[in-house]
Structure 1
């Protein structure tokens, strides 16, 4: 069964953040994800999840100074202590929210970086991922990495699916997986079904959005029913995060999800 999770950083933004949990549940979602939980206490978020019988599916480690343009700490030399503190904070929230997986955003490489600079970023990235995976393994959690397209996030360290697999092989941690975002993959590489098949054994989570404008998944160049069918035939039983920007009011654009249980409270099990 397809299990759709609402990304509350992008969906239901017509509501205050804490009210988006109720809006998601009322629209048939049984799981939620979002970028960051840290503006709210774990107890406050736990209460919203429990009140609406929602599962916390995913969130990101602290990304550094988001407002200043930072997009993760994992590959940044000289920020290792801050990264380790971010892992501890993410674990605190993941345990309180019973969230099984967290995403470590890679971070940005300086524009025009030379080979030596890139090598330092790679060394830092691998070392930090080994540390985070080991810490998360102690509490039974999965660490995710995500290739992100350079159009939306220029200079992001990780952009390709094969690159992600190579990182997994170099880190060598059983609880390190790929967050496979079909929107980003289409922009960078296309050939989605073949990429999905190649990545399937390494996937820890899936996300979707329409391409090219990141609106509802029934708008644009990607035929998601075929991708959902292939995921099901491969045996995928995880969540699919709906990480898109609605063209208008969120619920008005959820008609695409009716085939997958939305609007009737049956999109998945909590």
Structure 2
């Protein structure tokens, strides 16, 4: 069977369960070994780590550095030079979380700003360098993700992301194929971007539902392509299940990517 390490995104899947601890249990029951989330879901680092152990040793693959308050609140602060102290406090909280969870990958979000000045870009790059300096010694890879559907999100282009990754040694790409399809109109660039990826996420486009749903992306072919390219990181299921809970998981089992429990 194909070997991709699938990660259940607990901020999106199992939304019929009230909290992150219940969702962890459900992920384990469905056969997942890896999970990811936007944040700790109101848990402390210690209580979330304990819940992972109780769920059969589920391993966190990815978490975001706070603050991360969608849809209308802060989505990172890296490109906001006047909020450096809050940015650093977020990195400190993220370090506690990554250490408690042994989480290998941290998404450092750019923040929301419509200002495109050289000063903002310099602040963004400096902030990312600072994050890498903190997290590399902890064995944690920092990743950045171009986002297609939030008008004022600073990092909204893959070309920009690649240029910044080339500027910041140790920084990697969070390659979300939904956003790639929406920003570029195809996945033609996938072979170029995959070697830069520290984490991959998938959802159908344009509706952002489960990968096996009808849409613009042939995920049977794309997942095969990712496996054949030798990508060894996790593939996060960051999609909105059409049934609000577990749609799409059976398709991944049928495709051989997930072993049922």
Q: TM-score range by the shorter chain?
A: over 0.9
Give the match for residue 44 of structure 1. Answer: 47
Give the match for residue 33 of structure 2. Answer: 30
Are the equivalent residues in 1 in contact too, given 2:38–2:68 (CA < 8 A)? no
Are the equivalent residues in 2 in contact too, given 1:60–1:105 (CA < 8 A)? yes
Q: Aligned-residue CA RMSD in angstroms?
A: 1.6
Are the equivalent residues in 2 in contact too, given 1:10–1:244 (CA < 8 A)? yes
Q: Secondary structure at the match of 1:79?
A: helix
CA distance in 2, matches of 1:73, 1:66: 13
Are the equivalent residues in 1 in contact too, given 2:147–2:156 (CA < 8 A)? yes
Q: Secondary structure at the match of 1:218?
A: coil
For residues 230 and 162 of structure 1, do their structure 2 counterparts lie closer, same or farther at Cα, with a shift above 3 Å needed? same
CA distance in 1, matches of 2:197, 2:248: 28
Structure 1, unmatched stretches of 5+, are 266-270
**2:60 equivalent to 1:56:** yes
Give the match for residue 128 of structure 1. Answer: 127
List per-residue Cα deviations over 1:74-125 (Å, max 9, x = no partner).
Answer: 1002111111111111011100100001001111122xx4xxx522211110
For residues 222 and 264 of structure 1, do their structure 2 counterparts lie closer, same or farther at Cα, with a shift above 3 Å needed? same
**Aligned mate of 2:14, from 4, 7, 12:** 12
After TM superposition, give the deviation of residue 186 of structure 1 in Å. 0.2
List per-residue Cα deviations over 1:44-72 (Å, max 9, x = no partner).
Answer: 11111112221100010002665752221
Give the match for residue 206 of structure 1. Answer: 200
**2:139 equivalent to 1:140:** yes
CA distance in 2, matches of 1:190, 1:66: 25
Q: Secondary structure at the match of 1:251?
A: coil
For residues 245 and 38 of structure 1, do their structure 2 counterparts lie closer, same or farther at Cα, with a shift above 3 Å needed? closer
TM-score, normalisation: structure 1? 0.90
**2:250 equivalent to 1:255:** yes
Give the match for residue 268 of structure 1. Answer: none
